[in-house]
Amino acid sequence: MDEGGSRVRRRVSLPKRKRPSLGCIFVTPTAAELERGDEEKKEEEMVAENRRRKTASVIPVEVQPRLLSDSPDCLVLGGGDTNLDLLRRMPTDRGIGDQHNDSEEDMFGDYDSFTENSFIAQADDLEQKYMQLPEHRKHATDFATENLCSESIKNKLSVTPIGNLTELQTDKHPENQSGYEDVTVEPGADLLYDVPSSQAMYFENLQNSSNDLGDQFMKERDWKSSSHNTVNEELPHNCIEQPQQNDESSSKVRTSSDMNRRTSIKDHLKSAMTGNAKAQTPVFSRSKQLKETLLSEEINVAKKTIESSSNDLGPFYSLPSKVRDLYVQLKGIEKLYEWQHTCLTLKSVQERKNLIYSLPTSGGKTLVAEILMLQELLCSRKDVLMILPYVAIVQEKLHMIGEGSRGAILEMTLAKILYTSKTTQIIGMSATLNNVEDLQKFLQAEYYTSQFRPVELKEYLKINDTIYEIDSKAENGMTFSRFLNYKYSDTLKKMDPDHLVALVTEVIPNYSCLVFCPSKKNCENVAEMICKFLSKEYLKHKEKEKCEVIKNLKNIGNGNLCPVLKRTIPFGVAYHHSGLTSDERKLLEEAYSTGVLCLFTCTSTLAAGVNLPARRVILRAPYVAMEFLKRNQYKQMIGRAGRAGIDTIGESILILQEKDKQQVLELITRPLENCYSHLVQEFTKGIQTLFLSLIGLKIAANLDDIYHFMNGTFFGVQQKILLKEKSLWEITVESLRYLTEKGLLQKDTIYKSEEEVQHNFHITKLGRASFKGTIDLAYCDILYRDLKKGLEGLVLENLLHLIYLTTPYDLVSQCNPDWMIYFRQFSQLSPTEQNVAVILGVSESFIGKKASGQAIRKKVDKDVVNRLYLSFVLYSLLKETNIWTVSEKFNMPRGYVQNLLSGAASFSSCVLHFCEELEEFWVYRALLVELTKKLTYCVKAELIPLMEVTGVLEGRAKQLYSAGYKSLMHLANANPEVLTRTIDHLSRRQAKQIVSSAKMLLNEKAEALQEEVEELLRLPSDFPGAVASSTDKA
């Protein structure tokens, strides 16, 4: 449940609170008071009419958040949580009941609303006394109720009967009898603040109804037929369950006998409180209401603007001005760049045509994407999907369509959208594009490009101790810039032949620097080497903050800290590569962004997406691993130089040896590499998977349809370039034949006539299982065999056998076991655990011979041996639940161990879906559900229910469990205030988030059970005689 939802529950049960007495006294008016009452009644009617004009267009507070929360739309934004915060912080005012209790007790169980001295009891006494007057027995009670509620927002009340009307006065303000302006009284001074929110809502709506009815009450004096209807009309339909039905049939039933079974004020209040407690309480601050009204009006204007395709874009590119204000507040963006304004106002964008836009790195492409997405979400009320890259935390770059299996998956996704939907708008953005015409044709898109960079970038080359500036106008592409002015000792020359210390000390610690290294190990070595030669002065720069970073790293590592980081962080230096855990990377990135760390030694993956700009970027060598640098990779890396709003200039320095000089000069002058489709090249992850999903999703069913689809893909656009030996038709036929022979598709021949024959395809059970489980088709038959063999002797005394079956196949080829560690772990297995290895065909003697380097004659499946080794790693993780311990035990980078764990959790879920489609594997279903949870959270079994809650990681789960919160129900019923006091380092905001998330999960589970109950009780559609009975009724 969202935050708003949690507020509903908080209003249901409020704690007892002291409140001032609401003693109501009947007094007899003087003649002067009667005369003054007539005059003030006219004034009251004028004030009421004026108030109706002001509040006529007020939208309930829930309207704005519902734009997101009620819709199944999915918005995935890259670059951290700022964008989500922007949406999350759209105005959602809190109600009065927000201040204390989050518990789920009985609605009125511990509240004194129905006790002897309560407000409702006093209101009931007032009604009874008033009804004793003969002239008022029939109608006056209704008017007393109406006026009592309309004026109940005063501090203290006195009731003065005037004729047949009851007039209300306040003790403090006798001259102001209408009192409507007092609604804006701030909490604490307002009586309404101190009554239950459900009563407050009841009073407010009856007050509105009295305004709307006006003279009608004077003439008809029929409270039951008028005011009750008005209350229900005034209340937002999406905020309240009506306590009574108000249709024509109910009004007809009301006859003269109504007087005998008249509903008392007390009953009305109880009924309204019960209904209103289920609703979010409107906020009674007029300034907030006006802001909400303005925001609602702006959204309506923006929506009309988009529908009319007008050039008048409204407050902020068809978005409410609140969005612009939040950009200023959260990101410091006061004005868009000129290219951003131009791009957002393009005719193609206004007409919702597909668009590709390309700019250098750091040009501000993401902001344009965010604004376009917000337009869809807030104005058009439509779904938005942003595709994220696999290795980064920002949005998918369009050039990645040409990068291996990721590119094939991206191409398949876009091709399906283009083929099945003519209304979906596709926006593609990239920093590096060359053959954009092919992409335009594939996406049927307009193209916009600019060479804008907010900070000037200067590129340099370093050969020996000389630095050259890259100059395209120069004869050989570069001109002399300067010599390095840094005194090197003989020791330093040996340790740092590339003069890295000289280059980085020119900018750090006052400015930031990135050093790209060819390998992970090189990153760590370079970081340590630089720190050895930095002066002690660097230790004093932001010393306290750096100590805090080290402390936080220890906390997330359960007391463990990388020895390299322990030595480098005091100098403001750290390495950054995939060997770090995700929590470590996140913490180091935050420290770098805030200036606590000033130097990162990193691999090329950082350039692929993580937005960490620097004053100077240094490329340690023109290589990525053993491969020479590509132009696209080079542009991505140097694109990190120059921080908008901080630096006036950015610098990149590529260090090279004399032997690489010619290649580097070609690198810096050649155009960007072309982008090519990998759909056919990635056979099992590409074209085969595509065809299986097309038939499984019933997008296409026969050869002609599939061939037509293929012509619309990126591969289809480039077929003349990519296909030399075979045609697209031949490749399509071969791929379908392969899938049929593998048992994933079945071919049906339909004879339309003697001459015309059509071949249709439908998916088999194995094919559907592979499709639903998203299993790589290279491994689907191996997986089937392994699961089938497992049924013959599945070892359930421990988890090792199940873990082996869910260890990802694609990681096996990357595994190089340490045979001594393998043998040591094997010898420590229990007899039942060793039995698993025997079933798989791996013996202890084989591992022992490998460890001792002996020759082995017996042939053993290498993939099985390697997969079992990875299973040992995962098995140890589930037993010890500590990545650091397992990392040391198997001598593996902790980042690799974490990736193995997440890959196994994902693959376990895939295998579960695979088994759900095949009846013969029913035994695996329940087992894999639990195993997937264990792999996902990697904690002790008792902590798993707590880990499902948003904001609860392992450390927090242990704290909660120790404090007695051992289940989801415990958290859902927890009081955030008590949590904050009980759990160390838990803020009130975090506590409320945990409670809200637990309530949401509990609610989802309850709804799922409810749906199951309804399904069980529903009459089956194929029930015998059901069709006949429906025909008889017709």
At 415-439, the pLDDT tens digits run 999 999 988 999 988 876 788 999 9
CA angle 415, 909, 807 (to 5 degrees): 105
* Residue 166: partners with Cβ closer than 8 Å, 6 or more residues away: 130, 140, 143, 144, 147, 148, 159, 160
CB of 114 closer than 8 Å to CB of 108? yes
Q: What is the reported pLDDT for 854? A: 87
* Residue 440: partners with Cβ closer than 8 Å, 6 or more residues away: 356, 446, 447
Q: What is the reported pLDDT for 717? A: 94
The tokens for 899 are 């990736």
* Cα end-to-end span (Å), the chain: 42
Tell which wins on pLDDT, 609 or 27: 609
Q: How confident is the model at residue 759 (pLDDT cuts 50, 70, 90)?
A: confident
Q: What is the reported pLDDT for 1025? A: 72
* Residue 1023: partners with Cβ closer than 8 Å, 6 or more residues away: none
What whole-number distance in Å separates Cα of residue 681 and Cα of residue 687? 8
Phi, psi of 457 (to 5 degrees): -110, 125
**Residue range 234-255: mean pLDDT, rounded:** 40
Residue 855 scores a pLDDT above 60: yes
What whole-number distance in Å separates Cα of residue 668 and Cα of residue 663? 9
Which of 326-335, 391-400, 526-535, 753-762 bottoms out in mean pLDDT, i.e. has the lowest? 391-400
Strand intervals (E) in 484-633? 513-516, 573-576, 599-602, 616-619, 623-624, 627-628
**Residue range 996-1013: mean pLDDT, rounded:** 92
CB of 917 closer than 8 Å to CB of 910? no
* Percent of the chain topping pLDDT 70: 66
Residue 246 scores a pLDDT above 60: no
What whole-number distance in Å separates Cα of residue 79 and Cα of residue 589? 12
Residue 83 scores a pLDDT above 80: no
Tell which wins on pLDDT, 78 or 986: 986
Output the CA torsion sign for 722, 726, 729, 733. Answer: negative
What's the Cα-to-Cα distance from 952 to each of 710, 943, 1002, rounded to whole Å? 46, 10, 15
What whole-number distance in Å separates Cα of residue 562 and Cα of residue 549? 13
What whole-number distance in Å separates Cα of residue 182 and Cα of residue 531? 67
Strand intervals (E) in 630-765? 649-656, 745-751, 757-763
The tokens for 679 are 């759909």
Residue 522 scores a pLDDT above 90: yes
Three-state DSSP state, 162:
strand
What whole-number distance in Å separates Cα of residue 696 and Cα of residue 713? 18
* Residue 708: partners with Cβ closer than 8 Å, 6 or more residues away: 700
Strand partners, 623: 628
**Residue range 77-98: mean pLDDT, rounded:** 33
Query: Peptide bond preceding 196: is omega within 30 degrees of 0, i.e. cis?
Result: no
**Residue range 73-98: mean pLDDT, rounded:** 33
Q: What is the reported pLDDT for 558? A: 82
Q: What is the reported pLDDT for 1023? A: 82
Please give the single-letter amino acid code of residue 122.
Q
Q: What is the reported pLDDT for 336? A: 92
What's the Cα-to-Cα distance from 354 to each of 347, 365, 372, 447, rounded to whole Å? 11, 16, 12, 9
With both helix axes pointing from N to C terminus, report the angle between 819-827 and 883-890 in degrees, rounded to the nearest 10: 120
Residue 215 scores a pLDDT above 70: no
**Exposed, middle or buried, 25 (CB in 10 Å: 0-12/13-18/19+)?**
exposed
Residue-wise pLDDT tens digits, 615-670: 999 999 999 888 999 998 898 899 889 877 778 889 999 999 999 999 999 998 88
The tokens for 67 are 């734009």
> How many residues in total does the chain contain?
1034
CB of 147 closer than 8 Å to CB of 166? yes
What whole-number distance in Å separates Cα of residue 630 and Cα of residue 641? 18
CB of 632 closer than 8 Å to CB of 672? yes
Residue 94 scores a pLDDT above 50: no
Which of 319-328, 512-521, 991-1000 bottoms out in mean pLDDT, i.e. has the lowest? 319-328
Phi, psi of 46 (to 5 degrees): -65, -45
